[in-house]
Amino acid sequence: MCLETKNADASIIALAGGSAYVEAVTAMLCLSSVEKIYAMGWCGSLDEEIRPGDILIAYAAVRGDGTTSRYADPEYPAVADPIYVIDLYHKLRTYGLRPKLSIIYTTSTHLREKEILEKWKGKAQCIECEVSVLYVISRLLGIPSVAALVVSDTLVHKYRDVYSTVNVAEKLLKILVEIIKEH
Provide the pLDDT for residue 10: 63
Provide the pLDDT for residue 11: 64
Provide the pLDDT for residue 155: 85
- Domain at 2-176: CATH architecture: 3-Layer(aba) Sandwich (3.40)
Provide the pLDDT for residue 7: 53
Q: What is the pTM of this model?
A: 0.87
Query: CA 104, CA 16: separation in Å to the nearest integer?
Result: 15
The ranges assigned to domains in the chain are: 2-176
Query: CA 86, CA 8: separation in Å to the nearest integer?
Result: 21
Provide the pLDDT for residue 8: 55
Contact in structure between 181 and 5 (CB atoms under 8 Å): yes
Q: How many CA atoms lie within 13 A of 158 on its CB side?
A: 3
Quick one: three-class SS letters along 20-76? HHHHHHHHHHHCCCCCEEEEEEEEEECCCCCCCCCEEEEEEEEEECCCHHHCCCCCC
The list of the chain residues with pLDDT below 70 reads 1-14, 110-111, 183
Provide the pLDDT for residue 18: 75
SS3 155: coil
